[in-house]
Structure 1
Amino acid sequence: MSSDYFFKKWKTTLARLDEIVEIDSFLQESKAYDKTLCGASERLSGILARYIVVFNEALDCKQHNAQVQKIPFMENVVHAVSERILELKHELRKLDGSNYQFLANGMKTHRVTPNDVEFIGVPDETPRSEVLDDKLKEIFKAVKEEKERIRLENKEEINCWWDADDEEEEDIKMEEVKEKLTEEELKIREMAALIKAHERSRQCIRMRTKTKQQRARWVKELNGTLPPPARVELRERAANLIQMATRIYFKQKRTNIDQCHRDELLGVQYCEPPKMKAKAGSNELKYYWTEMRKKYMKHRRISFENLKQKYSTEVTAELKEYYRDVIRDWFYSWFQEIQYFHDIPKETDGGIVPIIKDEIPSPVVWLEEHKKALEQQKANKGKSAQELKFAKQEAKREQMLQKREEQMKLKLQAQMMKKLLKNPNQHPGYHYPISQKLTHIVEAMEEYHKYWDELDDTEVKTVKEKFIKDLDVSDACKEVKIEVSNYVYEDMTEELKLLKTALKTDYLNMGEKMLEPLKEKSKKKRKKKKKLQATISEHIYEQLQKLAMEDILKEYKRTSLEDFLGDHNLVGDDIRCNYGQALPFAGETRSVWWERCREVIRGKRKVLIVGPKGSAKTILVHALASLNDAALFEIDPCKMPGILISAVYLQSLVATITKCAQVVQPSVIYIRNVHRLYYIKTPTEIADINISLLNHYLVKKLCKRFNKTDKVTVIGTCVEPWLAKTKLVKQFPVTVLVPDTSYATVYNILYDWVTNDHSVPNDLNIQCLARALQGYSFGYIKECLKNFLSPERIVHIGAHGLKPVDVYNFILDDNRETKVDYSKYMKWYMNKTAWGMKEKKHQQEQLQFKAALDKYAEAMKKKKSKGGVKTASSK
């Protein structure tokens, strides 16, 4: 894809963003009003859907942008839009009382499709250093080679233990196994060989027949016995007939294709062979654009350094003299007005830059403030340190009381609003909420238009890709001036010391007292942020290699949010409007999980994923790690041997994981089956294992070792939450419930199965099969479909075709797993999690309001009927 395409797309995206911002600001200024909760929710969801569409387009343009100087401006726009999306999600959560948003009615209003509101990525990109990436790749490669070497050594050792007698016995056993396998697979191999023989003979006969016919024609032509060609009139008639038949055929073909496209849009069936998804191509394309930007950034850095060096050699001497003259004039003006020299601001406060910009107050103003401060010091001079401390505490108490009064007023207003919302006669309705993030979008857009509008209109090649050299001139000059000002700062501080000593001696000679500077309060030293290590020490390298050998540090498959298959619940908002409980589907889960993905680089987070076994929880974890390019550490307490479970081993393991995760952050720590560490009643099969010790180190100690600023996310998965203690939810405050496998999810699995496996016929009726298989877990359906295509069945499908009943009967005959009872998960979610309890309470309040509304309507109806009877009798 060319840079010209994304350049034009970015311009159209900005135009769409301007349009939606205008609508959003108009709704806020006009204070748009809705009588019902559904109306207010639909209005907000429509605006949210429009913002998501613009966010996806802007993020796509930013990721494929080849103009390196535009990147900061584009990032500001993308960040501002993502903040507004989160704000709208928060407002919808307050309205609906649920963690999930259903956008179907809002999407219809703004003509947006469900595919348009799928998030394609996260706004922040903090790539790990190239050195760390190379080291991790080197570790994974070395571990693979080491595991292969160990496997081969073990194989050789096993072979070495065989004696001659053992070898004979083993050969006999191998022959018996081969004979058994041959008997079992004899029919399949015979049928496959027969099909191959038929195909080869058909091709051979066709080739020989063609050669024979060609030679016979040549013989007739040489002998002169070949009949003459048909007349021109007959050939023209034949050509016309062929053209007419071909036109009719292709017309019917186009009609069938249109009908197929219509059926696919309606979700009925598809007739054409489905196209393969080019997921690998997208990753390659992303890598291509990343490498291109790196190359352009490198060229720009070299050009910038050359400009800076050139400007520095030309103006450094002049700038030094100019800055010295400005500072000396400033000293002179202070001495002339108040016979005092003000200190030069410290380097942390800007150095000589505030003096040059004239940001320091004038000598007269400073002198008045100085006198007031001296009077305050004199007033406080007689007071003890304890009295001053009490005065400060009293001032803080007054501020706290004022804040509490304001909070109480807001609380009373909220309680009054709740009472009004429960009364149908006095219901105030819903106003469109005022946004605090919309100004960020406007500022980001104004900044972009200010710097780039004129350049974009020119459509020069350097505006679309690479960089514009002239734009770097001002930045190079700025950096040179800062370097010169730092050099002048050191000289002028020495000169100021000489001036102050001379001024002090003058005051002593005249017998007067010089102004003394006020004692500045010592500022608390801020803790320096730990810089991330750009390299790995030998000790950390060995620890990472050890974790990789133990399968704790994982090399995962790159995954996107789209791999979590399933559609949106298109009737969820209608169900809520009818006071029912709407279940989120995979589409709503992906939207909520996107929020968790963008939080990885914002500090330590803890997330709990709850769902049945094989419900694609690992896909969500891999998608989160892939979008943030994070290192994945996987811990499974069930796979730990009981011999190793001791305090010493677990302490060293936790210390190793935390240290390595901090070095290679952003990192994701994936704890499988964490509910087994919180069992209310320990099962008999794991009664020998010290679960409390595992819980103490693998959860509590592990989470406490990270700082709030560490880009580490700890994710726990839970299969049977009702068997665990409530401490599990307290330890993981954010809970994401994986949805049940609905018809849409199963349909997508079957569609991918038919798409990717060519042995399955394209005309298989997967609609009825998806209806029958809904309720089985995601992973179980995939595994059964994989096991279904045995060699015998592939040959049978090629000869007799495939019916949905064959697949359904195969799954029914497999007794390993039954349909999931999803009501248990919903019951636990509603009773134990924070968002579940909020949703349950909100639904009860809505049902109470509906009952009050019906009662009020009935009373009004009776009142009208009584009034009508009275008027009739009076007449």
Structure 2
Amino acid sequence: MSQSSYNQVWKDAMSELSSLLAEELPPVPIPPQRDRVVFFQRLATLYVRYVQVFRQLEEAHNMLVHPQKRRLILLLLKGVMGRVLELKYEMVEKEFSEYHYVDDILHALKLTPPALEIPIPYFFVGERSKETEERKTMVLDVLNLADGSKDLDTSMDKVMTEAEAIKIIQMVERAWQGRIRAKLNKDVRFSNFDRRHRAKSAGSAFNELAAIRIQKIWKGYLQRKKTKIARDEEMIFLGMVMDPKYQTPLQAEIDAQAIDTSIRVRQKKHEEVYLNAIDAILKQIRELEWNDMAKTMKNQIRQWFYECRNTTGLFPDYPTVEEGGSAIIFAEKTPQQLVEEIALQEEEAASKSKAKGKDDKKAKDKKDKGKGKGAEDDDEGLTMMPSAFLSELEVANKRYEEVWKTRNESENFTQIHEVELIKEEMRKIVEEEVRLQVDEEMREELAELKLAVDKEKPGKQKGPKKKKGSKGGKKKKKEKDLTPDRTLESLCEELVQQGLLKRAKNFRMQDFLGDYNYLGTTLRQNDIEPMPSLLDVRQVLSLYGILPLGAPEVHEKAPLIKSILLVGPAGVGKSMLVHAICQETGATMFDLSPYSTAGKYPGKPGLAMMLHMVFKVARLLQPSVIWIQDAEKMFYKKVPKDEEQLEPRRLKKDLPKCLKLIKPEDRVLIIGTTKGPQNSDLKSMCKMYGKIILIPRPDYGSRYILWEKLIKKQGGKITNALDLTSLTKVTDGYTPGQMVQVISSVVTKDRINDLTKHPLTADDFIVPLGKFEPVLQKEEEALKSWYAKTPLGKRRIKAAAEKEDALLKAKDAKTKKKK
């Protein structure tokens, strides 16, 4: 697609965004909605539409090369991401579920389920700041150094045991005896062959010669074939030839990759030229327009002095720096209005302290009302929560309409920066610099005028009164730095050596395969809570884990999620998702699992030092992910005897304290994974983890996609001989991890070479599957019943019970009317 095509994508996205803003910010406020179903339908419709705008803006920002357009699109993109998260938070609060099924809305908007897929913006990793890039490079260097030294140490320090030595000697001895036996058999066979053929008649000599010739040709062909295979394997091993399973892509794919690469190069080039132009134009404006700006500002301020003098009879007080200085003078207001506004600000500051006591009393009265609050809210109606992103989106949308909507770019074929727009932006910066200097000079001039005309001696100008903290309030303790003299590099080296700072494996969210839950809406209409599909899990984690970690502005203003718990059977992909979140956001991964912390930093001082180092480095290298594998061990009701040495509960008290210290500006996320949460204290675990995500075993659609994609990825071919439908049906309960192991054991190099003669069949996978135990329906139901005891699960059960009671009351009312 050309740049004009992506400009059209941006235009379409802005058209939809304008209509969304008009709906969300109407002139007259929207009245509260009493019907919860209707209110949720409105929320879900807004969510789906915002996701479509998000996808379009992400595509436009990814492919456009105009630097000024990309800056505005980035601002819009972050605002839309934040609004999507706000709507998701509200949907969860209103439906009491992490998963939502909106088939009716998709049908009304003429969309398909893939339209709900959350895209991962390229700028999360591809356009990081230089400082962040340098820190991440330093961490990679430390990890590479540690990996190299570990390999060297293990090769030097490894000592062979007696059993291993005996085994090697036996193997060599048996191989030597086998070679001798083979040589003797060969000699005996050839001697018998010669004796037998000498006794034959001369007429058989021709047949013997023909047979030898045929054997020679056939053996030569086999040997050449083996040699070619060995040579190909050697070339692949040396990296001189591409492996057959990584076949050369089609020409269309090659062209698309070349276009993407050229666009990235053009984006960097245009960005460098744009930054150089900013420096040059800023310098030019300072040199040429500084004096004129200062002169104009002084004349305007002097005129304000005289107008205030003529109106009020006195010269005004000059606005302080905290109030904005002369910036409030240049607002379109009369001198009388400005004087009244300044007086009002002083009166408000004085009245706030009086009103504070009354507000505190009202707040206490509201708390004393107790449990009747929820019912009152329902009676009053449901309203949208205030948004932190709508105002920014409105400003950015206004900027688009003023500058880009009707702009003629027929002559800007190369899509370079617009000089006039840079001058407008730089003039504002220079005006601010000039204003600060002019304010100092005009304050002195005003003081001289007051002294000369009104005989008023210059005194200290009163600034806005500072708010005094309440005496009874407790001061928040600042976190004490236990390592003030240590560098970041030394802390990273120690954490790597202790195994607490690790390299994330190369997984992506797209590698978490699955299908959509097409029956979710139908089941909920029949009051049956459906199990989420694997793609539902992927979408939720993209929202909760990737979007906030990738953009600092989104993390600061969106609903804060500090911790996530992934619950599911072994092999469903919990660890893979943790690594994928780190890769997609470029996050640093820390490991505080019980097996990683066992025997390290003993005692309370050691534990405090370990947590301090982890969280300090996590903040400095943000975004960061702190992974806790086997999270249930930390909240054991009773520690098993075989795990007492691990001390799994040593972080139970201190880690939640560290969690409370995470602020919105700290892009640090704690992710726990567990396969047996039933053994833990539910109340403590729910306090620790703000979001609990249940990952089920794959359903039929997900298993079909997993078998197909994983076999192809391993190098196998799907033919008519392989009945995927039957294979998917008989593998109910098997997890993606088990499928990967089975496919890697079946689809080997030798099997790939033999596919032309013996294609893959379903029977090839049945025998290896017998080595694994599937996840039974009882285990899944146990996890589901445990999840129903969580706060969100309890709220959903309560809402369902209230709905049933309302239906029964409605039926009773109808029957009474009939009587």
TM-score range, shorter chain: 0.7 to 0.9
Question: In 2, are the aligned partners of 1:669 and 1:713 still within 8 Å (CA)?
Answer: yes
> Given the alignment of the two structures, is residue 587 of structure 1 paired with residue 535 of structure 2, yes or no?
yes
Question: In 1, are the aligned partners of 2:523 and 2:530 still within 8 Å (CA)?
Answer: yes
**Residue 13 of structure 1 aligns to which amino acid in structure 2?**
A
Give 3-state SS (helix, strand or coil) of 2:770's partner: helix
- 1:217 maps to which residue? none
State the alpha-carbon separation in 2 of the partners of residues 371 and 616 from structure 1.
58
> Given the alignment of the two structures, is residue 569 of structure 1 paired with residue 517 of structure 2, yes or no?
yes
State the alpha-carbon separation in 2 of the partners of residues 142 and 765 from structure 1.
49
Give 3-state SS (helix, strand or coil) of 1:594's partner: helix
**Residue 406 of structure 2 aligns to which amino acid in structure 1?**
E
CA distance change for structure 1 residues 416 and 300 in 2, over 3 Å: closer, same or farther? Answer: closer
CA distance change for structure 1 residues 404 and 356 in 2, over 3 Å: closer, same or farther? Answer: same
For 1:696-735, list aligned pairs within 5 A.
696-697=653-654, 699-725=655-681, 726-735=683-692
Give 3-state SS (helix, strand or coil) of 1:670's partner: strand
1:636 to 593, 609, 616: 593
Structure 1: which 5+ residue stretches go unaligned?
Answer: 184-193, 205-272, 381-387, 419-430, 509-513, 531-535, 864-875
- Deviation, 1:716, is 1.3
CA distance change for structure 1 residues 524 and 330 in 2, over 3 Å: closer, same or farther? Answer: farther
Question: In 2, are the aligned partners of 1:56 and 1:119 still within 8 Å (CA)?
Answer: yes
- Deviation, 1:120, is 0.7
Q: Percent identity?
A: 20
2:397 to 437, 445, 452: 445
Question: In 2, are the aligned partners of 1:143 and 1:549 still within 8 Å (CA)?
Answer: no
**Residue 14 of structure 2 aligns to which amino acid in structure 1?**
L
* 1:8-35, Cα deviation, whole Å (9 max, x unpaired): 3222333455567788899x99999999
State the alpha-carbon separation in 1 of the partners of residues 769 and 120 from structure 2.
36
Give 3-state SS (helix, strand or coil) of 1:774's partner: coil
- Deviation, 1:733, is 2.2
Question: In 2, are the aligned partners of 1:79 and 1:123 still within 8 Å (CA)?
Answer: no
> Given the alignment of the two structures, is residue 669 of structure 1 paired with residue 626 of structure 2, yes or no?
yes
TM-score normalised by length of structure 1: 0.72
Give 3-state SS (helix, strand or coil) of 2:742's partner: helix
1:785 to 726, 743, 749: 743
> Given the alignment of the two structures, is residue 461 of structure 1 paired with residue 412 of structure 2, yes or no?
yes
Question: In 1, are the aligned partners of 2:712 and 2:718 still within 8 Å (CA)?
Answer: no
Give 3-state SS (helix, strand or coil) of 1:589's partner: helix
State the alpha-carbon separation in 2 of the partners of residues 614 and 478 from structure 1.
57
* 1:188-219, Cα deviation, whole Å (9 max, x unpaired): xxxxxx99954946999xxxxxxxxxxxxxxx
- Deviation, 1:830, is 0.4
State the alpha-carbon separation in 2 of the partners of residues 406 and 680 from structure 1.
36
Question: In 2, are the aligned partners of 1:46 and 1:110 still within 8 Å (CA)?
Answer: no
Number of equivalences:
739
- 2:64 maps to which residue? 65
CA distance change for structure 1 residues 332 and 743 in 2, over 3 Å: closer, same or farther? Answer: same
**Residue 799 of structure 2 aligns to which amino acid in structure 1?**
H
State the alpha-carbon separation in 2 of the partners of residues 624 and 316 from structure 1.
49
State the alpha-carbon separation in 1 of the partners of residues 334 and 305 from structure 2.
13
| 741-750 or 790-799, which deviates more | 790-799
CA distance change for structure 1 residues 517 and 472 in 2, over 3 Å: closer, same or farther? Answer: closer
Question: In 1, are the aligned partners of 2:450 and 2:456 still within 8 Å (CA)?
Answer: no
- Deviation, 1:822, is 0.6
State the alpha-carbon separation in 1 of the partners of residues 167 and 572 from structure 2.
43
- Deviation, 1:406, is 12
**Residue 613 of structure 1 aligns to which amino acid in structure 2?**
A
- 1:172 maps to which residue? 169
CA distance change for structure 1 residues 179 and 107 in 2, over 3 Å: closer, same or farther? Answer: farther
State the alpha-carbon separation in 1 of the partners of residues 171 and 61 from structure 2.
61
1:599 to 548, 564, 588: 548
CA distance change for structure 1 residues 95 and 458 in 2, over 3 Å: closer, same or farther? Answer: same
CA distance change for structure 1 residues 751 and 700 in 2, over 3 Å: closer, same or farther? Answer: same
- 2:111 maps to which residue? 112
| 466-475 or 408-417, which deviates more | 408-417
Question: In 2, are the aligned partners of 1:560 and 1:626 still within 8 Å (CA)?
Answer: yes
Question: In 2, are the aligned partners of 1:607 and 1:733 still within 8 Å (CA)?
Answer: yes
Give 3-state SS (helix, strand or coil) of 1:70's partner: helix
- 1:496 maps to which residue? 446
State the alpha-carbon separation in 2 of the partners of residues 801 and 368 from structure 1.
85
- 1:521 maps to which residue? 465
**Residue 517 of structure 2 aligns to which amino acid in structure 1?**
N
**Residue 9 of structure 2 aligns to which amino acid in structure 1?**
K
Give 3-state SS (helix, strand or coil) of 1:747's partner: helix
CA distance change for structure 1 residues 572 and 781 in 2, over 3 Å: closer, same or farther? Answer: same
- 1:307 maps to which residue? 281
Question: In 2, are the aligned partners of 1:89 and 1:101 still within 8 Å (CA)?
Answer: no
CA distance change for structure 1 residues 128 and 346 in 2, over 3 Å: closer, same or farther? Answer: farther
**Residue 731 of structure 2 aligns to which amino acid in structure 1?**
L
Give 3-state SS (helix, strand or coil) of 1:669's partner: strand
Give 3-state SS (helix, strand or coil) of 1:714's partner: strand
* 1:349-386, Cα deviation, whole Å (9 max, x unpaired): 33333334465743995599599979x99xx9xxxxxx
State the alpha-carbon separation in 1 of the partners of residues 794 and 220 from structure 2.
64
Give 3-state SS (helix, strand or coil) of 1:599's partner: helix
Question: In 1, are the aligned partners of 2:304 and 2:335 still within 8 Å (CA)?
Answer: no
Give 3-state SS (helix, strand or coil) of 1:802's partner: coil
Give 3-state SS (helix, strand or coil) of 1:453's partner: coil
1:470 to 420, 434, 442: 420
For 1:164-563, list aligned pairs within 5 A.
172-173=169-170, 175-176=172-173, 198=222, 200=224, 292-338=266-312, 340-357=314-331, 359=333, 361-362=335-336, 366=340, 392=355, 394-396=357-359, 400=363, 413-414=376-377, 416=379, 444-455=396-407, 457-461=408-412, 465-502=415-452, 506=455, 520-522=464-466, 539-563=487-511
- Deviation, 1:40, is 7.3
Give 3-state SS (helix, strand or coil) of 1:687's partner: helix
Question: In 1, are the aligned partners of 2:734 and 2:773 still within 8 Å (CA)?
Answer: no
Give 3-state SS (helix, strand or coil) of 1:736's partner: strand
- Deviation, 1:314, is 2.3
Question: In 1, are the aligned partners of 2:594 and 2:647 still within 8 Å (CA)?
Answer: no
> Given the alignment of the two structures, is residue 140 of structure 1 paired with residue 90 of structure 2, yes or no?
no
> Given the alignment of the two structures, is residue 625 of structure 1 paired with residue 575 of structure 2, yes or no?
no
Give 3-state SS (helix, strand or coil) of 2:531's partner: coil
- 1:749 maps to which residue? 706
CA distance change for structure 1 residues 569 and 305 in 2, over 3 Å: closer, same or farther? Answer: same
Give 3-state SS (helix, strand or coil) of 1:609's partner: strand
* 1:71-102, Cα deviation, whole Å (9 max, x unpaired): 34323443454455445545544554422101
- 2:694 maps to which residue? 737
- Deviation, 1:825, is 0.7
CA distance change for structure 1 residues 459 and 545 in 2, over 3 Å: closer, same or farther? Answer: farther
| 279-288 or 137-146, which deviates more | 279-288
Give 3-state SS (helix, strand or coil) of 2:532's partner: coil
State the alpha-carbon separation in 1 of the partners of residues 443 and 380 from structure 2.
62
- Deviation, 1:679, is 0.8
CA distance change for structure 1 residues 81 and 332 in 2, over 3 Å: closer, same or farther? Answer: closer
CA distance change for structure 1 residues 302 and 515 in 2, over 3 Å: closer, same or farther? Answer: closer
State the alpha-carbon separation in 2 of the partners of residues 696 and 434 from structure 1.
34
Question: In 1, are the aligned partners of 2:492 and 2:617 still within 8 Å (CA)?
Answer: yes
Question: In 1, are the aligned partners of 2:294 and 2:434 still within 8 Å (CA)?
Answer: yes
**Residue 752 of structure 1 aligns to which amino acid in structure 2?**
K
- 1:651 maps to which residue? 608
- 1:187 maps to which residue? none
Question: In 1, are the aligned partners of 2:500 and 2:596 still within 8 Å (CA)?
Answer: no
Question: In 1, are the aligned partners of 2:592 and 2:628 still within 8 Å (CA)?
Answer: yes
* 1:468-506, Cα deviation, whole Å (9 max, x unpaired): 1121122222222222222222222333343444457x4
| 117-126 or 594-603, which deviates more | 117-126
1:660 to 588, 611, 617: 617
Structure 2: which 5+ residue stretches go unaligned?
Answer: 181-217, 229-246, 470-474, 479-483
